[in-house]
Structures are given as structure tokens and as C-alpha cells.
């Protein structure tokens, strides 16, 4: 039974949407990058709205890895040097991780854990997409990064109800999302999907987030992407970086994974590849501490 004085789902979303650094630029950037007629100047007009993202773009373009003798002095020059795909990857990581690092209590998190695990799922989804060739790796990466966004919203708005959620999960011996549903009247994947609707994210991403805790119910159009995300969550959970207290209660949908050929041997084999990529991304922050880029 839902507890009294629990915020309504829309109230949770309203509070979360008011957090600083919410990733509202991502849908605009994603739409622009999908348009073949988009120019570097078009992207610059979006990126410069966010000073930190603009600075990160210049910094990456002038890094030792990308620098080609001359220094980029404008965001437009940086976009040309980096390429559209690298810009999208940078934007997703910069905007998403900055919001995900907002300090909140809940899910047994320590500093940086939510951001750390989200990045681990994102990288796993990207690597699995590269292996399968069935979905765009940037879409897979984004799905992995935002799949748990509802957790941040619930932790921010409903922190006082976590003891009741824990008690219900242990007493009823149910999944964590079912305990959230029983105590709050909604669960994190519902909240995450509603936030993405508010921010006008693409339907495919909204739907995989909505069904991230119960993937069997995903609409047929998003089933392949859902399988990639589900496999990525399994890989990231096994690696353990930033896993929340609900993580090891993950219910594995073996049928969904087998449909796409994601057999256990493949998922085990890809784990060191994912861990190497995550370690390069996070360096000494891979296991502890607030995540900074």
C-alpha cells in the first residue's frame, strides 16, 4: 500500500527538472546531428548555450590526441576537427555526468557512484552495439547513460521513504522496482521515462527507459535496443563500478538476450573490454570519488 505524504510522480519530475545542469540540450543536439543538412555553425549555436560544454569542446579539440599543429580558437573549428560523432559523445558524457553527479542520498550511493555506474552501462551498451552491428552505437551509449535517470529523481525527491522501500523489499522478497511501486505508487523507470518525455527525448530512448526494469513488455519497435541495454546493465552490474543497492536484485530476461544472440560467453568476454574503456574514461575515479571530467 502506498505510504501517506508521498510526492506524486509529476511532483518528483518537477523537482528533478529544476536541478541545475539537467541535460535538456541533448534532444536538440541529437536532432541536429541526425539532420544531414546540419553544419558546424548550427551545432556551435547549440553548444555555446552551455559554457561548460563549449569549453570542453575546445579543450578536447586542442588535446594532444586531436591536435594537428594549429590551435582551435572557436567552437566551430573544434567541431570540424572532432567530427559530429565525437561531439555527440562529448556532449552526452559532459551534460549527463554533470547532472548525475548532483549530491543526493539513496540507493546506498557514495559520491560519484550514480555517475560511475551510468557511464559503465553506457560504455557496455556501446561495445555490445559495436559487436552486434544491430543498433547505432551512439544511441546505445545514450540509452545506457540515461537508463537510471529516474533513480536520481526519486533519491532527490523521496529520500525519506527509502527505509520503507528497503523494508518492503526484504519482507516481500520482491524486486526493488516492485518495492518502489508498493511504497511510492510508481518506480524509477516510470519517473525516468516521464522526465525524458518532458525533455522531449526520442521515443525509442523514452521507451527503453520506461521498460528498463521489466524489459519483456517493451514494444516490438524498441525490442532490439532494449536487448542491448539489458545486456549492458548485466555487464555493468557484474563489473561492480558504482552499483547501487538495488543493482544485484536485477532480474535477467534470458529470453530477450538470447533472441539477439547475447549468450553468456559473449557477455563474459566483453567485460574486460568494457572495463578497459571505462578505466580510460574515469582513470582513478573508476572505483570511488566524485566523477570529474
Instruction: Encode pLDDT of 160-203 as tens digits.
Output: 999 999 999 999 999 999 999 999 999 999 999 999 898 888 89
Q: Output the CA torsion sign for 108, 52, 280, 213.
A: positive
The verdict on 41 and 122 lying in the same domain is no
Domain-terminating residue out of 83, 101, 119: 101
The verdict on 198 and 113 lying in the same domain is yes
Class of residue 63 by CB neighbours under 10 A (exposed 0-12, middle 13-18, buried 19+): exposed
Parent domain of 181: 1-18+104-293
**What's residue 104's pLDDT?**
66
Domain-terminating residue out of 64, 86, 101: 101
Note the Cα 145 to chain centre separation in Å.
2
* CATH number of the CATH domain containing 237: 1.10.3210.10
The verdict on 24 and 14 lying in the same domain is no
The verdict on 128 and 184 lying in the same domain is yes
Question: What is the DSSP-derived secondary structure letter of residue 6?
Answer: P
| CA-to-CA separations, 160 to 101, 155, 215, in angstroms, rounded | 20, 9, 28
The verdict on 27 and 157 lying in the same domain is no
**What's residue 142's pLDDT?**
86
Nearby residues of 113 by Cβ (< 8 Å), 6 or more positions away: 242, 243, 244
The verdict on 60 and 91 lying in the same domain is yes
Element (H, E) at 169: helix 162-172
**What's residue 164's pLDDT?**
95
**What's residue 79's pLDDT?**
84
Q: What are the phi and psi torsion angles at 40 (to 5°)?
A: -60, -35
Q: Tell me the residue length of the chain.
A: 293
Each residue of 112-149: b (16+ CB within 10 Å) or e?
A: bbbbbbbbbbbbbbbbbbebbeebebbbbbbbbbbbbb
- Rg, C-alpha atoms of the chain: 19
Round to whole Å and give the CA distance between 177 and 4: 19
The verdict on 141 and 130 lying in the same domain is yes
The verdict on 12 and 80 lying in the same domain is no
Domain-terminating residue out of 101, 136, 151: 101
The verdict on 207 and 281 lying in the same domain is yes
Q: Which cell numbers hold the place of 24?
A: 535538456
**What's residue 109's pLDDT?**
78
**What's residue 71's pLDDT?**
78
pLDDT beneath 70, residues of the chain: 1-2, 19-24, 51-52, 64-65, 67-69, 97-105, 284, 286-293
Q: Which cell numbers hold the place of 145?
A: 547513460
The verdict on 47 and 144 lying in the same domain is no
Number of domain units in the chain: 2
Amino acid at each position: 500500500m502506498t505510504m501517506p505524504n508521498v510526492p506524486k510522480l509529476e511532483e518528483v519530475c518537477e523537482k528533478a527538472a529544476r536541478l541545475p545542469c539537467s541535460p535538456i540540450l541533448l534532444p536538440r543536439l541529437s536532432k541536429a546531428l541526425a539532420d544531414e543538412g546540419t553544419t558546424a555553425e548550427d551545432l556551435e549555436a547549440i553548444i555555446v548555450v552551455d559554457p561548460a560544454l563549449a569549453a570542453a569542446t575546445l579543450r578536447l579539440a586542442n588535446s594532444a590526441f586531436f591536435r594537428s599543429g594549429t590551435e582551435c580558437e572557436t567552437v566551430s573549428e573544434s567541431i570540424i576537427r572532432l567530427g559530429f560523432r565525437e561531439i555527440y559523445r562529448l556532449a552526452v558524457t559532459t551534460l549527463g555526468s554533470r547532472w548525475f553527479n548532483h549530491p543526493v542520498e539513496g540507493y546506498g550511493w557514495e559520491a560519484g557512484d550514480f555517475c560511475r555506474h551510468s557511464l559503465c552501462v553506457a560504455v557496455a551498451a556501446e561495445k555490445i552495439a559495436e559487436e552486434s552491428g544491430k543498433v547505432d552505437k551512439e544511441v546505445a551509449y545514450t540509452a545506457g547513460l540515461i537508463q537510471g535517470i529516474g533513480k536520481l529523481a526519486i533519491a532527490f525527491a523521496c529520500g525519506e521513504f527509502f527505509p520503507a522501500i528497503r523494508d518492503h523489499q526484504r519482507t516481500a522478497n520482491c524486486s526493488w522496482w516492485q518495492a518502489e511501486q508498493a511504497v511510492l505508487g510508481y518506480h524509477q523507470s516510470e519517473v525516468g521515462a516521464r522526465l525524458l518525455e518532458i525533455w522531449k527525448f526520442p521515443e525509442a530512448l523514452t521507451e527503453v527507459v520506461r521498460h528498463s526494469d521489466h524489459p519483456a513488455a517493451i514494444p516490438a519497435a524498441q525490442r532490439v535496443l532494449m536487448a542491448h541495454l539489458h545486456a549492458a546493465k548485466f555487464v555493468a552490474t557484474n563489473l561492480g563500478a558504482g552499483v547501487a543497492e538495488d543493482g544485484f536484485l536485477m532480474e535477467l530476461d534470458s529470453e530477450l538476450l538470447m533472441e539477439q544472440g547475447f549468450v553468456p560467453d559473449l557477455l563474459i568476454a566483453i567485460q574486460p573490454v568494457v572495463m578497459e574503456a571505462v578505466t580510460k574514461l574515469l582513470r582513478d575515479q573508476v572505483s570511488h570519488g566524485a566523477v570529474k571530467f
